[in-house]
A and B are shown apart, each in its own frame.
Chain A
């Protein structure tokens, strides 16, 4: 399910993980041919050079844990950009996914001339259209009610007719936009009916809002909250209120599996073991929710998927083939402890499958088999270094089951 085309995604999101390869740093290995001994020498020199140096490492990104250990966030822009662009980790605290609050606010308050379209603006336009439609509908329904009580006069009849026409036009406009985008790429089912010309619409609406701001809303009429944001001398934002926030599974993956971050709490850096216990919380049992989630997260990350929170679809994770900017998530993952008869029962699967089906994703039930409490305790008692943690995670078994609703009457010949 393709989202938007024509952007240089391959350049911006070149690395799927925040890891620098030797190839990136030292360049490709020179072409060699068997018949040309000189090329062997240059190959040998290059290999010797690479193997005599330590593998390239970027500076570790600084992640700050708050005092309660509830949130992990990256405050510096460079680190945020690294973790977002290389693997789509985290989420802007004031954005839907990529941190875009600063750019959005600058645009809203008219502090910049740049024309960026954030995904939030696209949603705002769609919601605005829907709201306008609802307003018309409400007025029409009032007239209908009135019409049942008495005969409408001419003005009212004319008004009612124009309302109905306007609503029909809006419905028609939506349908043609959807069918057009479906025609353009038949194999692609439009996920949320996002028409191709949405970019143009958003730009128009942004321009309108900017014009309105200049004419009708002088700076003195800004929200009190906005005025405190702006530095009156330079007419720029005082600070970026947004940080990139990482989930527990993400921050643990970045430290345990990739060693790409350094986690700080109260100015001292946390050891892997300390982070593990911080994520684990108070329940030290093998079926701890963090452990189950992490096992599944690590599993899908290892398979090359980009896994992100599935909160908005009522599941534990959603899986992207590359990442949120390019493709809509294809799978919704529910983590189930094997043998659990808690809240994840068959009726719950059914309910979730309907929700997930409604947004055209495939539901994947992931059953996790846990080690016994004795095995778990034994590993936790030993020194918890990377090796011991690997041993612990190896005791977990992950099985995926795709859950699909089948309606016999629709598939019958």
Chain B
């Protein structure tokens, strides 16, 4: 199963998201090939208290094993979304492990006020 498919199944049937779709991302010719897949969907409840109700969440699925990472790759996440929709304030990074665990992290576009735990 591809990482996009694994993440989709996990979001829909484990985290109970709705209307999850996998997006085809156009890679520009000069940039390095993408190591991630792009998805979007609606979480069952707000992911952060300051979110607007019914906000569509962007998810970047990526293989955990693939240790390489860089600032330019994080920029690629946002570029890929920008080609489809306005640039979001944050994306959710889904790291897929080889035991089918998917761990989720927020990646913000710049510094934000830390949230109260």
Contacting residues, chain B, for A15 (C-beta < 8 A): none
Asked if B1 and A247 make an inter-chain contact with CB atoms under 8 angstroms apart, the answer reads no
B101 near A224 with CB under 8 A, answer no
Assembly CA distance A137 to B115 (angstroms): 13
On chain B, the residues within 8 Å of A246 by CB distance are 99
A66 touches B1 (CB 8 A): yes
Q: B99 near A223 (CB under 8 angstroms)?
A: no
Interface string of B1-31 (1 = CB under 8 A from A): 1110010011011101011000000000000
> In the complex, how many angstroms separate the beta carbon of B18 from the nearest chain A beta carbon?
5
How far is B9's CA from A95's CA once the two chains are assembled, in angstroms? 12
Q: Give residues of chain B (37-90) contacting chain A, Cβ–Cβ below 8 Å.
A: 49, 63-64
Contact with A312, one of B1, B18, B63, B101 (Cβ below 8 angstroms): B101
> Given contacts A66-B1, A223-B18, A225-B18, is CB(A247)–CB(B98) below 8 Å?
yes
With beta carbons under 8 angstroms apart, the residue of A70, A94, A101 that contacts B98 is A70
Docked CA distance A137–B49 (Å): 12
Complex interface: chain B residues within 8 A of A94 (CB): 9-10, 13-14
A241 with B97, Cβ < 8 A, contacts A71-B1, A138-B49, A225-B18 known: no
Number of interface residues of B (CB under 8 A): 22
How many chain A residues touch B (CB < 8 A): the figure is 27
Contacts of A66 in B (CB 8 A): 1
- Whether A91 and B12, one on each chain, are in contact in the complex, defined by CB atoms closer than 8 angstroms, is no
- Taking a contact as CB atoms closer than 8 A, the residue among B3, B14, B103 that contacts A311 in the complex is B103
B101, closest chain A residue (CB): A311
B49 near A245 with CB under 8 A, answer no
Q: Is the CB of A245 within 8 A of B99?
A: yes
For residue A90, which residue of chain B has the nearest CB?
Answer: B99
Q: Across the interface, do A224 and B98 meet the contact criterion of CB distance under 8 Å?
A: no
Q: Are A225 and B13 in contact (CB under 8 A)?
A: yes
- A22 contacts the other chain (Cβ, under 8 Å)? no
Chain A interface main SS type: mixed
**Contact status A71-B100, CB under 8 Å:** yes
Give, as a whole number of angstroms, the nearest-CB distance from B3 to chain A. 8
The proximity string for A residues 297-313 relative to B, scoring 1 for CB distances below 8 Å and 0 otherwise, is: 00000000000110110
The answer to whether A241 and B98 touch (CB under 8 A), given A223-B18, A311-B64, is no
Residues of B within 8 A of A90 (CB): 99
Give chain A nearest CB distance to B37 CB in angstroms.
13
Taking a contact as CB atoms under 8 Å apart, the answer to whether A223 and B13 are in contact is no
Q: Determine the chain B residues whose CB is within 8 A of the CB of A225 once the complex forms.
A: 12-13, 18
Q: Is A93 an interface residue when CB atoms closer than 8 A count as contact?
A: yes
A93 to B99, alpha carbons, bound, how many Å? 8
Q: Is the CB of A311 within 8 A of B99?
A: yes
B100 touches A241 (CB 8 A): no
Counting CB contacts under 8 A, is A328 at the interface? no
Mask for A114-143, Cβ within 8 A of B = 1, else 0? 000000000000000000001001100000
**B98: A residues at CB distance < 8 A:** 70-71, 247-248, 309
Kindly state the separation between the CA atoms of A21 and B61 in the bound complex, as whole angstroms.
Answer: 44
Cβ of B97 and Cβ of A309 under 8 Å apart? yes
Q: Using Cβ atoms and an 8 Å threshold, which residues of chain B touch A311? A: 64, 97, 99, 101, 103
Give min CB distance, A396 to chain B, whole Å.
21
In the bound complex, what is the Cα–Cα distance between A295 and B98 (angstroms)? 18
Q: A71-B1, A224-B18, A225-B18 are in contact. Are A245 and B13 (CB under 8 A)?
A: no
State the Cβ distance, B89 to closest chain A Cβ, in Å.
20
Alpha-carbon separation in the docked complex, A71 to B6 (Å): 10
B44 CB to closest chain A CB (Å) equals 9
A199-232 CB mask vs B (1 if < 8 Å, else 0) is 0000000000000000000000001110000000
Top 3 A-B pairs, shortest CB-CB distance: A245-B100, A93-B100, A309-B99
24 sample A-B contacts, Cβ–Cβ < 8 Å, listed by A number: A70-B3, A70-B98, A71-B1, A71-B98, A91-B100, A93-B6, A93-B9, A93-B10, A94-B9, A94-B10, A138-B49, A223-B16, A223-B18, A224-B18, A224-B19, A225-B12, A225-B13, A225-B18, A241-B13, A245-B100, A309-B97, A309-B99, A311-B64, A312-B103
Give the interface of B toward A (CB within 8 A): 1-3, 6, 9-10, 12-14, 16, 18-19, 49, 63-64, 97-101, 103, 116
The residues of A with any CB-CB pair to B shorter than 8 Å are 66, 68, 70-71, 90-95, 101, 105, 134, 137-138, 223-225, 241, 245-248, 308-309, 311-312
